[in-house]
Amino acid sequence: MKVSVIGAGYVGLVTATCLAEMGHEVICMDSDALRVELLRSGVVPIYEPGLDTMIQRNTQDQRLFFTTRLQDTLEAAEVLFIAVGTPPKEDGSADLAHVLAVARQVGQAMTKPLVIVNKSTVPVGTAERVEAVVSAALQERDRSALPFAVISNPEFLKEGAAIDDFMRPDRIVIGLPAGATGDLARTAMTRLYATLNRHHERTVWMDVRSAELTKYAANAMLATRISFMNEMANLADLVGADVDAIRRGIGSDSRIGPSFLYAGTGYGGSCFPKDTRALMQTAQLHGSQMHLVEATERVNQAQRQVLARRVMAHFGADLSGRRFALWGLAFKPQTDDMREAPSRLLIRQLLLRGAEIQAHDPVAMEAAQRVLVEDLADIDPGLSRVRFMADANAALEGADALLVVTEWKQFHNPDFELIRDTLRQPLILDGRNLYDPQQLQTLGLAYQGVGRRNALAEQAMAGAVGMESLARSATPARAMVHA
């Protein structure tokens, strides 16, 4: 089939590339001329494992094309995806300006029957608004008889695993309008996704409004599981339980399952924060209230400060002269996405109290530098107190403690003796529960995860004895910690 995708951002680029990989002929359009030129030259402006190779293969095989001209996308397209940004407004609602602008441009230029697919995450009723805008533009051209359908096909892509999510989906949600236009769209989308449904049917057909709300419901449910486990972790700290054991205990229940039960520093990224707030705003607009989602958001906002609170619990509120190693900057591994990353708030809080930061991330340091310039603009001297280290171990040099912020696999099995001997104090504050508290205690490392303390960390946090004394009592002389 001939397919067009408007928007070469994360969702649009993955959608266009994967459809081309399935054998369709795809034109991806973006108004950013520089971005299009980069893509044409083989440079991918986002980090997603495997995407650059797939783009190169499909452009060489002439199944994937990039353009800045809307007309190019409409000349042959049977299906057109709208995958432009829907950034949050100040009240939390989704800004549909880009979506509706594209709808008007399509209505002004289309010349043949077309299935228009809302791929962007949009609130309930957006398809109807897009349909009205396209219809008005067609009427201005005296082409109101030209048939088209506006449908909802929300994306469920996890950053870092987006290609696999698209090519091996759990489900394909498609919302159709009633009547002949819905029948037209169903036929087209059945053909489009035939490859993905070859072995068993993955498509879940429904009405358009239900499809739009399904996307928000899915993200709100996952966010709620995360916030619930973070609350359990905080309680585990107070009562002396281990949240990892709790996770395994409840995750083995088939009614609950193991996914999204990991405690940590809260969720971030482009989806969960934005979508939970948009869902709350939608409810308010309809005279209702999402009490559980509101609680989920409150818990997450508090949890994003957990590492900063623990730093201050040990070192005090004045961090002048202190230096901290940060492992991980992106909001999750396998991406360079810094949107609402917990590291941003943590860095700001530490700098406000006089600390210095030595940070390492496998792919997100360039993106982090860009966003931190703005985040720290009101702090003197701001970004100059953050050093970006090319090597994780180099970030440890002269640091008072190691803070683990993102669960990159490169951080899963470090040299703990090197960490202990390099840090000025043998303390790891782990925001992702990567390590075994008892193993680290044996090695003379004070360790505090989220809902997972070891005895050395409990004594250190209580101020019972100095960190060096703890290390000496737990390790042989050859493994003494540097002052």
Asked if the model's pLDDT at residue 482 lies above 80, the reply is no
pLDDT of residue 473: 42
Any residues with CB less than 8 A from the CB of 451 and at least 6 apart, and which? 232, 233, 234, 235, 236, 237, 241, 242, 243, 244, 246, 263, 433
Tokens of 52: 């650059």
Give residue 286's identity as a one-letter amino acid code.
H
Q: Just list the catalytic residues.
A: 271
pLDDT digits (tens, 9 = 90+) for 142-171: 999 999 999 999 999 999 999 999 999 999
Q: How far apart (Å, rounded) are the C-alpha atoms in residues 434 and 413? A: 9
Q: How far apart (Å, rounded) are the C-alpha atoms in residues 248 and 203? A: 32
Q: How far apart (Å, rounded) are the C-alpha atoms in residues 293 and 348? A: 27
pLDDT of residue 455: 55
Q: What stretches of 22-93 show up as alpha helix (H) in DSSP?
A: 33-40, 51-60, 70-74
pLDDT of residue 92: 83
pLDDT of residue 180: 92
Asked if the model's pLDDT at residue 481 lies above 80, the reply is no
Peptide bond into 381 cis (omega under 30): yes
pLDDT digits (tens, 9 = 90+) for 171-210: 999 999 999 999 999 999 999 999 999 989 999 999 999 9
* Percent of the chain surpassing pLDDT 70: 94
Q: How far apart (Å, rounded) are the C-alpha atoms in residues 25 and 230? A: 45
* Region 313-332 average pLDDT: 96
pLDDT digits (tens, 9 = 90+) for 92-106: 888 999 999 999 999
* Region 239-265 average pLDDT: 96
**What DSSP string describes 400-426?**
SEEEE-S--GGGSS--HHHHHHHSSS-
Q: In which residue are the tokens 């990353």 written?
A: 341
Whole-model pTM?
A: 0.89
